[in-house]
Amino acid sequence: MALWTYDFLDRLGVVTHVRYSDGAYRDHAGTLEKLRYLGLDRIRDTAPKAGAKLPYKRYLDAGVRFCMSCSPSGAAVSDASRVGEVLDRILAAFPGARGVDFLEGPNEPNNQPIAFAGVKDTKTSFEAVKSYMAALHPELRRRREFDQIPLLGVANYPRLQVASDMENEHPYPMKGTQPRSAMAKVLTGRKRPVVITEFGYNTGPPSRFPTPVDEYTQALLTLNGLFDAVSLGARRTYVYELLDEKPDPDFKTPNLHWGLFRYDGTPKIAARALHNLTRILRPEANAGPSGPDPKVTGLPPTARSMALQKGPGSSLVVLWNEPDIWDEAGLKPIRVAASQVQVAFPKARALRLYDPMQDERPVKEAGPSDSLKVQLGAFPQIVEIVRT
């Protein structure tokens, strides 16, 4: 059965750093404006510090919902009985845990070791993280405000088995490669639901890691990664990240170029592509019978398709292709020849073809038909089939 587009959209989110006061995120009105432009209201951030004065209510009133990374602070660093201090911090800023979708363990302890109950981890020793999660999980379940909020695990290399309700992963494809392999590695064969709390491509200067891509390629690979994640069953995927955090006009600092928007607030191609995608997929209704899945033929070996239901009388077929598109040595895109793909279905009243890399409006429209031929190159195509 086809996934409804409102379910697809609910599986999309973006990483923010609203607690940062020395860069682009200090403009909260601007951050909310950019979320509205993308059509996203699910963000992943970090639990507030004690006494935080940030305008979280402003985000909640705008309909934004949070996934928050949790780490021990204050007394919990030396006293295991104070493990709940992070939940106290959250409740001070989010009364009744309003607007909280997920909590998760400490972020990438292999890069950012923590200390808990008198034990301090290193980048290769994780006893503090394991004991912290073992104490945090029952504390979360004990508190009424959090009893329905899942605790995600810890995104770490190597993978850690910790007390949690769902898995947490950060699949970052290397060297401008397509996302399918990285997504399949973390999603295939998992026994519990997986939330991808970070995934993205960097547009910064050359370095050992992350290897940058240009803005066009970032957009294309990001869309492909979201299609892969949903089709492989990810509960949600948070793109890293919303904004380039600080100015870096000479491209000297790679980590300042993960954003969907540049530091000056202008959208990169990836932001425009996501804007187009969320509007193309905007549901017409959330109830009604779904039609039969269309039949797709002629896909090249690197391509895939996914059926979505947009409304009781309208369905979509997403076509995306993942050949090698980035010359890592030359730091430039690789041209890809198009393949002719056919989408067949019971006779429709109207057809619309969309290219989210170009526009939110159809690039082609046709009258009654029972099939459509699509030229599928490197960029995704979306066919809308209007039955009634």
Q: Tell me, what's the pLDDT at 206?
A: 77
Give the residue carrying structure tokens 């200090």. Answer: 26
- CA within 13 Å, CB half, 195: 29
Whether residue 287 lies inside any domain: the answer is no
Whether residue 253 lies inside any domain: the answer is yes
Are residues 169 and 307 part of one domain?
no
Q: How far is CA 188 from the centre of its chain?
A: 17
Contact 361, 382 (CB under 8 A): no
Final residue in a domain of this structure, among 280, 308, 325: 280
Mean pLDDT by 10 residues, the chain (388 residues): 93 97 95 98 97 95 98 96 98 97 98 97 96 98 96 97 98 95 97 98 82 94 98 98 95 93 97 98 75 90 97 94 94 95 93 97 95 96 93
DSSP string, 355-374: -TTT-SS-SEEE-SEEEEEE
Are residues 28 and 115 part of one domain?
yes
Final residue in a domain of this structure, among 280, 308, 323: 280
Whether residue 51 lies inside any domain: the answer is yes
Contact 128, 82 (CB under 8 A): no
DSSP strand pairing (314-321 vs 381-386)? antiparallel
The length of the chain in residues reads 388
Whether residue 234 lies inside any domain: the answer is yes
219 phi-psi bin (left φ>0, alpha ψ -120 to 50, beta other) = alpha
Whether residue 288 lies inside any domain: the answer is no
Whether residue 289 lies inside any domain: the answer is no
Angle at the Cα of 207 (from 203 to 208), degrees rounded to 5? 120
Q: For residue 103, give the 3-state DSSP assignment.
A: strand
Q: Domain of 137: which CATH number?
A: 3.20.20.80
The alpha helices in the chain, defined as continuous H runs, are: 5-10, 28-38, 56-61, 85-93, 127-142, 180-187, 215-231, 269-280
Whether residue 285 lies inside any domain: the answer is no
What is the pTM assigned to this prediction?
Answer: 0.97
Are residues 193 and 51 part of one domain?
yes
**CA atoms of 101 and 99, how far apart (whole Å):** 6
Are residues 24 and 160 part of one domain?
yes
Give the residue carrying structure tokens 């399949």. Answer: 184
Whether residue 9 lies inside any domain: the answer is yes
Are residues 83 and 17 part of one domain?
yes
Q: Tell me, what's the pLDDT at 336?
A: 96
Are residues 110 and 24 part of one domain?
yes
Q: Tell me, what's the pLDDT at 247?
A: 95
DSSP strand pairing (350-354 vs 381-386)? antiparallel
Q: Tell me, what's the pLDDT at 290?
A: 65
Final residue in a domain of this structure, among 280, 303, 322: 280
Q: Domain of 315: which CATH number?
A: 2.60.40.1180
Q: Tell me, what's the pLDDT at 126?
A: 97
**CA atoms of 245 and 258, how far apart (whole Å):** 9
In angstroms, the first-to-last Cα distance of the chain is 19
Are residues 136 and 162 part of one domain?
yes
Q: What is the domain range of residue 12?
A: 3-280
Are residues 306 and 223 part of one domain?
no
Radius of gyration of the chain (CA): 22
Are residues 220 and 308 part of one domain?
no
Are residues 174 and 99 part of one domain?
yes
Number of domains in the chain: 2
Contact 223, 320 (CB under 8 A): yes
Q: Tell me, what's the pLDDT at 287?
A: 56
